[in-house]
Structures are given as structure tokens and as C-alpha cells.
Structure 1
């Protein structure tokens, strides 16, 4: 049976690769229910433009493949259209930070300027604007929409679409893959925690445990970009969620109910594992050159933004140039896990589930994954003691995070990704 997933994302270069990986799956492997968009790498309006451009290019690619006698591919996309919903424009409480220094201001290295023929006209914008059509919710409920679209546009906020998808599917049948800041997830969980907990598991790309951060010495971008949201989602893994909730000022972020029906299962893919999955400039060049020569629209589009990212990596990492430049495939790894989670070579850390908490208030440590490195015995109680501030040793408090550490594709994933997307 096909695995059902929601992909919460902020496209972004590796996010687009993650989306292409999901959409290129076979229908029996995967059903992509929802693409929920958040700010993160870039402003959310640019994330939407990038996703719509992706569908535009895929329409052209599948037509090119038909015309040249090649298999169309992208079976998941042809079998069912995902809903696309626009979500959070800014973090819950933290100052907004973007990663456009790496991805470019449009998220794809300026592609909408350099390759305008691959960007659709802006006529699609009204499809996502609730002010244009107050009855717009019906388009999601009925699946109606322009016949030439490969997606179903939603006029609802992304967090409400997440809740809708979870209500409409049986508990433990939908995996939520989150590869950007966790703002949409936190809003959904705050509005209706019991519906949110119908999810089978949440797969999170974020954080750094033993590796340095990538935006501060201790902060990974997604955890840093909305530390409060990450901390609130992590708290749902606890037997006592309010024991690890961060202090907040917002009235839309109340404490969770004292009694919830279950704990959240959260699989964390921090930099410690994602940095071990890479695509080299040489691998990409060898794969894409014959496709460019043959006239593939998808190859032209992907080559344009990948050229930008490999040039950026050369500037950031002197000595790693040309074919030796390495792009870490942070977000696609999480999608591949969702596709192949039954593979026993996916393994958590020896100490999992671990009590991992996200720092929200520190001057220099915002977004840090905090773990208890002390060698002390656990305590079967829920009373805070003077030598254990924060209930780190309590068996009845603290988070329960499955930190993923072992991978079946560590050395081969770059080739797997390219083969899936292009062939």
C-alpha cells in the first residue's frame, strides 16, 4: 500500500530536490497528500512561486518524454494531485531569519530572472487568495481546479490543511515530513493537538547534536529559524508535554491539555546524519549533460539552480571546486526515509529515544539541541530537585526523540536521487 505523506517545506534548492524525489515515486510507493509551505530559506511567497514553477516544468517535461518515446515517470504525481497550501510568513516569536544568502533571494539562484521561459505567468496567484473567492474552500473539498494543473490549490492556511488531511485519514496512516522551520506544525498542534497526534510520525530535518551548527556555532538553520515552534513540537513527544514547553508571549500558543491520548513519534534527522549524504558536482554534471543535449526541460531547470548552488559551495569551501564540490542532501534524505522506512538499515542512535530539547531564550544558543551529558541515574518521580533543574533525570518528564543515526544509502544516495528525478 502506498505510504501517505504531507511535505512541509520552504523551497529552497534541496527542498525542490526533495519534492521532485517524492513526486517521482511510483503510485504504489507514495501518495503525496499535501505540500504545505512555510517561510524559511526565503519568503513564503517565493516558496509558492518555486513550487508552481516546478509543476510548470514537470508538465513540460512529461510532454517532452512522451514526444521522445521515453517513460513519463512521476507516477505519484500522475496518480493523484497534491494539495498546495501557503502557511506561515514569519516565526512564532523569534526574529525572522532567511537563508537567501545561500539559496538566492528567490530561493533558486535567481532562476526566474535568468530563465524566465521556465517560470509561469503570475495568473495562478489568485488561486491561493481567499479574498478573491470566498467559496474557495470548495476547490479543495471537491478536487476542482484548472484542468492543466498538476496540483490542487488551497485558500486555507497550511496548518489548517495539515489538520484537514489528518482528520480525513485514519490515525497512524500519514507521515508528516518537515524540512523547514516547524511553524506550520506548531500552529496545527496548538489549534487541535488531538487531531495533530493522529499522525503516524513526524520526520524532521533539523538540529545538530554533535556536529556544529550551520548558522551559529550551535544552531542549525531550521531549529534556529523558529526555535519556539521546534520546542513545542518536540514537547509533544514527552509523557508530560508541558514539562518541556518553552515560555511564550503569544495567546495563540497555550499550554497543551494535561492529558493527551498519546505521545508524538518524532524522527529527527540532524546535521549529524544529513551531512553524510551528498551529491558531487561531478555526479550531477555526468547525469545532466546528456539530458541537456537531448532537450529535457527538467534538466535545463534543475541545472540552472544547481549551477548556482555549486558556485556558492565553492566560495564557502575553498579547495572543493568543480566536480569535487559537495551538496549535502539534507531534505531529500528525509523523503527517502519516508519512502523506505521499512529498511532495517535505518537505525536510531544507541540512546534513542533521547531527551532532546530546543533552546529558545539564549543570547548565543537559540536553536541549540540541548542534551544531558551528565552521568546520573534516572529518578522515578516528577518533582524538581535542586540538583536537577528542568526534570532532566525524571522518568515521567522530558522529551522522547528518535534521533536517526544509521542509513542504508550513505554512500549511494546522490546517484539514487539523480536516477529517480531524471530517469
Structure 2
């Protein structure tokens, strides 16, 4: 039986590639229990449309492969139908920020308008959480839904808790590749059940790299800094030492004592920027598949074409076949599938006390590390020489920051081979 995973995501471009990577695995590698959706790259209603459209395309692709006498692939999906649950529409605090400037307003480069024949058209709104605004969302067919996934009417954070409650302790890995709002809500409602998770794999933050939305802030950490800080705090022996102050008191404080600490593996920009797919790699692989009539190739080519054009517009040096798209989210999924590979390495200082700034005008979402060379001290009382309890052995977060990978040199090839072979 494969590793059990939950994927918490805001399906834009690299999120979709990460989901396809998981679903195209073998049943012996992975079992996707739940896909929980959050705002982030785009509004959550568009995230839902993209997820449902993905399953619709997978169904068409498998049928096309059968007709061509090719292996169907997508063994993990055929072996286990995942649940889809709709989650947070807004951050816990602060103004919402989206990344539609890069992903397009629909999250996939305008694909639903430019390629309407690839978007399902029959009603499915009633299958999901009834409070979400589905205005203008093209729906999927009920038959696709019945075959490919199980829709949930529970909020995503409640589904996360249900899955963790229904499975054995330390048997489920939670891969979080969007803002951490759903995770923070789940942990606030029932921290002990949330801590049943084997580990949380987070794409977010920047340590020795500049941010990608502000000089210091990476998008996921910035989009809901309070949620990120609250989830990070669960790695501490005493979460109250790092849990952030809040403006509206929406979420309760954690209990003073919890039965265990969260294991959190952080994939910041420092490592994800080293995992790329070039336009040349993609073009070489996709061209014969387009000629053969692959529905998946046509769908992915449509939004990837938009992406490479956007890269050319936004970043110098990203022209032609040399253009590189960083696989931020797929690398986290790949870790969840291949975590036993000894080439996955944490930083030499791990576990590290990494905290998320939630209040700074220019530093919201910043990953803060105490780089001062100072000696540890005993006790939990804040002193004039240790404001913030950075030196206390019983305070601070304990984050496993990932810094080494078995796939750095050829990750683009892995993605292509996994999705289309």
C-alpha cells in the first residue's frame, strides 16, 4: 500500500502539475486521501473549477490511451478515489492577496475562456459546500465526479481532521502547497487530532533567498502569515512561545500542554528554485503528444504556453527554450512520494527555530532566524538579553528545512515522464 497523503492546495499552474504528479503515481507509491482547497493563487471558487476540470481531463486522457492501446496510467487515482473539499476563502487576518497576475484570473492562464471544449459543462455546484459562491463557475459532469473523486460538503479543515481521526497515528502526510489557512483552522479546532499527522510538508518561505512578492516575503507565507506562524508554532515544545499575537482573536490559543510536537518539513524558495522545467524540455515532450491527440497534452500545453509567455514578460533571461519554470509545488509532492530516498537532506542546522513575521510593514511573511552567535540559556522567562526567547532550550520552533534533493538535476524530466508516459 502506498503512502497516505492529503494535498492542501490552491490550484494554479504548478499546483496542478503537483496534483497530476501524485495522481499519476502507482498505488504502491501513494494514496491521495483528500485534496483540500484554499484561496491563494486565485479565489477558491476558481481553485475548485480547476480541480474538477483536471479530473475531467484525466478521464478523457485515460479513455484516449485505452483507445490507442496505451497503458492508462494514473494508477493511484484508479485505485483510490480522493475526496475534494472546499476550504478557506480568506486569510485569518489582513488583506487578501492573490497571484492571478502570474497564473491568470482563472489560475490556468485563461484556459476556460480560450479552450472551452476542455472545461466540463454540466451542473455540479450542489455537490460541494453550499456556502461557496459558484457564480460563473463552469461545472463538471456528475458521471465524471462519480468516477474520479468524491465531493465533500464539509469545510476543508473539518475534512482534514476527519481523515486524520479515521487513520492510524503517524500514517498520513499532509502536503501543503498554498497558504496555510486550512491547516491553522484545523489545528485551532482540535490540535490533538491535527497532531496525529505523520508530518506536514510545506512549500513556503525564503531563508537565504529574496522573497517573490516582497523583498522578504514568499507568496504562501505572506498570503496568510498568521496561519503560517500558528502552524509553525506547533513544532515548539511550548507553542505559546512563538504563536503570533492576533488582531481580532478569531482563533483560540493552543492548550498550554500538548501530547506531542508537529514534524514540519519546510521547502522554501531556496530549494524549490533549484527544481525547474524548461520550455525546451516541455516542447520536445509535448509536440508528438499533441500530434497524437492527447487531451492531457492539449490541456497542459494551453496553460503552460501562457506561463512561459508570462515568464518572458516578467523576468529577463527567460526567453525561448531556455525559459525555466520553477516547480515549487511538485517538488513537495515528489518528496511525499519518495521520502525514504537518503538524498533528501535537511539543512545542517535542522531542526531550526524559524518564525514567521506577522506584523511588519515590509516584512510580513518573512522567515526570521536568529543569526547572532550566542549561547543557550536555561528557563522560559524572557530577559533583556533574550527578547523573544530565542535562546531558551524549551522555547522556539523546530523546523526541518529541506536543503538537499535527489531530483535537482533532472526534475523537469521526471515531471514529463510521470505525467505523459
Residue 383 (structure 1) shift:
1.3
Q: Is the 8 A contact 2:145 2:151 kept in 1?
A: no
* Aligned counterpart, 2:224: 226
Taking the aligned partners of 1:241 and 1:255, their CA distance within structure 2 comes to 9
* Aligned counterpart, 1:136: none
Taking the aligned partners of 2:61 and 2:209, their CA distance within structure 1 comes to 39
Is 1:59 matched with 2:59?
A: yes
1:375/1:49 CA distance change after superposition, 3 Å:
same
Q: Is the 8 A contact 1:238 1:398 kept in 2?
A: yes
Residue 249 (structure 1) shift:
3.0
* Aligned counterpart, 2:137: none
Residue 318 (structure 1) shift:
2.1
Q: CA RMSD in A?
A: 1.3
State which drifts further: 115-124 or 9-18.
115-124
* Aligned counterpart, 2:347: 349
Is 1:28 matched with 2:28?
A: yes
1:146/1:101 CA distance change after superposition, 3 Å:
closer
* Aligned counterpart, 2:157: 159
Q: Is the 8 A contact 2:22 2:32 kept in 1?
A: yes
Q: Can you list the C-alpha shifts for 1:245-298, whole angstroms capped at 9, x where unaligned?
A: 101134441110011000000000000000000000000000000000000000
4+ residue runs of structure 1 moved beyond 2 angstroms? Answer: 129-132, 144-149, 249-252
Taking the aligned partners of 1:274 and 1:257, their CA distance within structure 2 comes to 34
1:196/1:129 CA distance change after superposition, 3 Å:
closer
Q: Can you list the C-alpha shifts for 1:357-398, whole angstroms capped at 9, x where unaligned?
A: 000000110000000000001112111110110000000100
* Aligned counterpart, 2:82: 82
Q: Is the 8 A contact 2:205 2:366 kept in 1?
A: yes
Instruction: Give matches, 1:4-403, under 5 Å.
Output: 4-130=4-130, 148-403=146-401
1:176/1:147 CA distance change after superposition, 3 Å:
closer
1:13/1:385 CA distance change after superposition, 3 Å:
same
Aligned pair count?
412
Taking the aligned partners of 1:249 and 1:372, their CA distance within structure 2 comes to 25
Taking the aligned partners of 2:207 and 2:144, their CA distance within structure 1 comes to 45
Q: Is the 8 A contact 1:130 1:156 kept in 2?
A: no
Q: Can you list the C-alpha shifts for 1:86-119, whole angstroms capped at 9, x where unaligned?
A: 0000000021000000000000000000000000
Q: Is the 8 A contact 1:7 1:35 kept in 2?
A: yes
1:315/1:131 CA distance change after superposition, 3 Å:
closer
Residue 145 (structure 1) shift:
8.4
Q: Can you list the C-alpha shifts for 1:188-242, whole angstroms capped at 9, x where unaligned?
A: 0000000000000000000000000000000000000000000000000000001
Residue 320 (structure 1) shift:
2.1
1:113 is paired with a residue whose SS is helix
Taking the aligned partners of 1:317 and 1:351, their CA distance within structure 2 comes to 32
Unpaired segments ≥5 residues, structure 2: 133-141
Taking the aligned partners of 2:92 and 2:171, their CA distance within structure 1 comes to 28
Task: Name the TM-score, length of structure 2 as normaliser.
Answer: 0.96
Q: Is the 8 A contact 1:25 1:76 kept in 2?
A: yes
* Aligned counterpart, 1:141: none
Q: Is the 8 A contact 1:190 1:252 kept in 2?
A: no
Q: Can you list the C-alpha shifts for 1:289-344, whole angstroms capped at 9, x where unaligned?
A: 00000000000000000000000001112232110100000000000000000001
Taking the aligned partners of 1:378 and 1:145, their CA distance within structure 2 comes to 60
Q: Can you list the C-alpha shifts for 1:16-47, whole angstroms capped at 9, x where unaligned?
A: 00000000000011000000000000000000
Q: Is the 8 A contact 2:278 2:322 kept in 1?
A: yes
1:123 is paired with a residue whose SS is coil
Taking the aligned partners of 2:233 and 2:71, their CA distance within structure 1 comes to 45
Q: Is the 8 A contact 2:92 2:250 kept in 1?
A: no
Taking the aligned partners of 2:209 and 2:122, their CA distance within structure 1 comes to 41
1:149 is paired with a residue whose SS is helix
Unpaired segments ≥5 residues, structure 1: 133-143
Taking the aligned partners of 1:279 and 1:340, their CA distance within structure 2 comes to 19
